[in-house]
A and B are shown apart, each in its own frame.
Chain A
C-alpha cells in the first residue's frame, strides 16, 4: 500500500483542515411572528409559527406567551 514518505508539518495539516473541514456558522432568521431567532424553513421553536399562518406543534409554547 502507498504510504506518505514525509511527515506533513503542522502548518500543512492545519492549512488543509482550514478549508473543507471548517465548521460553518448556522443560518438563522428571525421569526415573523414573535421575532425570536429561528431556523430557516422550520417552524419557530419559540412560538410554533411557520410562514405567518400555521401554528405547528408546541402549542403550549404558544399559550404560555
Chain B
C-alpha cells in the first residue's frame, strides 16, 4: 500500500527523478516559465519553492553586496550558496544565448523579488491534454513581481505591467479594436496589391510604348 507515501515517482528511480527535477528547476529559474505536464509541474513547484525559501531565510543578506556584509553574514551567505549549489546546476543559458549564474539569480533576484511573500512563488496554469498521449499539460512560471502580480501579461505586454487591473481592460479593448483594424488593413492590402499590380502592368506597357 502506498498510504501516506507523499510525492510522485514518475516511473523513475530516485537518482533519475532527482536529476530530472534538478534540470527542470534550473530551466524554470533560467526561463521563468516552462511548459510541462501538470503532474511534473506540481512536483516541480515543491522543489523550486524550497530552493527559493532557502535563499529567502537569509533576509537582506541574500541580496546585499558582499562588500557590505559582516564576516558572519558572509559565512551565512556562503553556506546557503553551497546548499543551493548542491542541488541547482550553476549555469543556465537564456534564450538569447547568455550564460546566467542560477545560484546568484536565486539569491540576488528571486529572494529579493519574493521578500514579504509567504511561499507560493510559482503559478501553474493548465493547458489541457497533449496531442499524442493526452497528458494534461500546464505552464509553470515564477511570479513576475509581488506588486505587479495581478497585472502580469505575456512577454509583449510586460512593459505595461506597472498598470493596475482597471487599465488592463482598456488594453484588452484596444487589442480587440486593433485586431479589427488589422483585419480591415489586410483586406485593404489585398485590394491595394491588386491595384498596384495593375498599375505596374500599365507602367510596363507605357515603357514598352516609349521604346
Question: A residues within 8 Å of B by Cβ?
Answer: 33, 39, 41-43, 45, 50, 52-59, 65
Contacts and interface: CB of A to CB of B under 8 A. Distances in A.
Contact of B126 (A41, A53, A55): A41
Contacts of B154: 54-56, 59
Contacts of A56: 125, 127, 139, 154
Q: Interface residue tally of chain B, by bracket?
A: 10 to 19
B128 interface: yes
Contacts of B125: 42-43, 50, 54, 56
Contact of B152 (A45, A53, A57): A53
A57 B153 contact: no
Contacts of A55: 153-154
Interface in B50-84: none
A29 to B, nearest CB: 12
Interface of B is mostly: mixed
Contacts, number: 37
Contacts of A57: 35, 127, 139
Contact of A42 (B126, B150, B179): B126
Nearest to A49: B172
28 contacts: A33-B172, A39-B128, A41-B126, A42-B125, A42-B126, A42-B127, A42-B128, A43-B125, A43-B126, A43-B127, A43-B139, A45-B127, A45-B128, A50-B125, A53-B150, A53-B152, A53-B153, A53-B165, A54-B125, A54-B152, A54-B153, A54-B154, A56-B125, A56-B154, A57-B35, A57-B127, A57-B139, A65-B179
B32 interface: no
Interface in B160-206: 165, 168, 172, 179
Interface of B: 35, 125-128, 139, 150, 152-154, 165, 168, 172, 179
Given A53-B152, A54-B125, A54-B153, 16 more contacts: A39-B128, A42-B125, A42-B127, A43-B125, A45-B127, A50-B125, A52-B172, A53-B168, A54-B152, A55-B153, A56-B127, A56-B139, A57-B127, A57-B139, A58-B127, A59-B154
A1 to B, nearest CB: 23
A54 B156 CA distance: 12
A41 B136 CA distance: 12
Contacts of A52: 172
